[in-house]
Chain A
Amino acid sequence: MVAVQSRLDRLVRPTFGRHLLFALAAAVVLLLLSSQIGAYDDYNLTAVAIFAVAAAGLNLLTGLNGQLSLGHGALMAIGAYTASLLLKDHHQFPVIVVLLAAVLSTGVIGIGFGYAAARLRGPYLAGATLTLAVAIPQVATRYKSIFGGESGLTVAPSSPPDWLGADFPPERWLAWIAFAAAIVTMVLLANLLRGAPGRAFKAVRDNEAAAALAGINVARTQVLAFVVSAACAGLAGALLAYWTGVTAPAGFTLALSLQLITAIVIGGLGSLAGAVWGSPVLVFVPLLTSGMASRLSLPSSVADNVPLAIYGCILVIAMLVAPHGIQGALRRILAYGRARWGNTPGGGQKGVVDWDDPAPDT
Chain B
Amino acid sequence: MSRFFVLTLNGVTQGAIYAAMALALVMIWRATKVINFAQGAMAMFTTYLAVFAIEHGTPYWVGFLVALVSGLLLGAIVERVIVRPVESAPALNVVILTLGLLLFLEALAPMAFGGQIRSFPPAFSIVGLRLGTSQVPFSPFDLFTLGSVVAVMLLLLVLFQKTDLGLRMRASAFNPEVSRLLGIRVGRMLTLGWALASLVGALAGVLIAPSLLLYPTFMDDVLVFGFTGAVLGGLDSAVGAVVGGLLMGFALTYVGGYFGSDLETVGALVILIAVLMVRPSGLFSVQRVRQV
Contact = CB atoms under 8 A, between A and B. Distances in A.
Contacts of A308: 103-104, 106-107
Given A255-B103, A308-B103, A124 B292 contact: no
A319 B93 contact: yes
Contacts of A123: 29, 34-35, 91, 95, 235
A122 interface: yes
Interface in B64-118: 82, 85-86, 89, 91-97, 99-108, 110-111, 114-116
A302 interface: yes
A184 to B, nearest CB: 29
Contacts of B37: 70, 126, 130
A315 interface: yes
Interface stretch (A35-43, A135-143, A162-170): A135-143
A327 to B, nearest CB: 16
Counting chain B CB atoms within 10 Å of each CB, the highest count among A122, A131, A208, A318 belongs to A131
Interface in A114-148: 116, 119-124, 126-128, 130-132, 134-135, 138-139, 141-142
A294 B101 CA distance: 26
A261 B86 CA distance: 18
B260 A316 contact: no
24 contacts: A116-B276, A123-B91, A127-B35, A128-B273, A142-B260, A254-B217, A255-B106, A265-B96, A302-B110, A304-B115, A305-B107, A305-B115, A306-B107, A307-B107, A312-B100, A313-B100, A314-B100, A315-B103, A316-B82, A316-B100, A316-B101, A319-B89, A319-B97, A319-B100
Contacts of B101: 312, 316
A312 B91 contact: no
Contacts, number: 162
Nearest to A259: B103
Contacts of A124: 231, 276, 280
B268 interface: yes
A330 interface: no
Counting chain A CB atoms within 10 Å of each CB, the highest count among B29, B224, B228, B290 belongs to B224
Contacts of A68: 92, 95-96
B108 A70 contact: no
A301 interface: yes
Interface footprint category on B: 35 or more
A160 interface: no
Nearest to A312: B104
A254 B220 contact: yes
B237 to A, nearest CB: 15
Given A128-B272, A309-B111, A261 B265 contact: no
A126 B265 contact: no
Contacts of B102: 258, 312
A49 B188 CA distance: 47
Given A70-B99, A139-B263, 20 more contacts: A116-B273, A123-B35, A124-B231, A124-B276, A126-B37, A126-B95, A127-B35, A131-B269, A131-B272, A135-B224, A141-B262, A142-B260, A218-B292, A262-B100, A269-B92, A309-B107, A311-B100, A311-B107, A312-B107, A316-B82
A122 B91 contact: yes
Contacts of A262: 100, 103
A305 to B, nearest CB: 4
A362 interface: no
B271 to A, nearest CB: 9
A119 B220 contact: no
Contacts of B115: 299-301, 304-305
A68 B262 CA distance: 26
Given A315-B100, A319-B96, A139 B224 contact: no
Nearest to B216: A305
Contacts of B273: 116, 128
A258 B93 CA distance: 14
Contact of B220 (A134, A208, A319): A134
A240 B102 CA distance: 25
B227 interface: yes
Contacts of A312: 100-107
A323 interface: yes
Nearest to A125: B276
A96 interface: no
A135 B99 contact: no
A261 B107 contact: no
Contacts of A316: 82, 97, 100-101, 104
A314 to B, nearest CB: 7
A131 B228 contact: yes
Interface in A279-332: 299-302, 304-309, 311-316, 318-320, 323
A11 interface: no
Contacts of B290: 121
A130 B273 CA distance: 12
**Pairs of residues from A and B, 6 with the lowest C-beta to C-beta distance, nearest first:** A315-B100, A312-B104, A301-B115, A312-B103, A308-B107, A309-B107
A192 interface: no
Nearest to A121: B290
A211 to B, nearest CB: 10
Contacts of A158: none
A138 B263 CA distance: 7
Contact of A253 (B96, B105, B217, B231): B217
Given A116-B277, A135-B268, A138-B265, A309 B224 contact: no
Contacts of A302: 110-111
Counting chain A CB atoms within 10 Å of each CB, the highest count among B97, B99, B272, B276 belongs to B99
Contact of A119 (B91, B231, B260, B280): B280
Interface in B125-149: none
B277 A131 contact: no
A308 B280 CA distance: 34
Given A128-B273, A134-B224, A302-B111, A320 B231 contact: no
A33 interface: no
Nearest to A314: B100
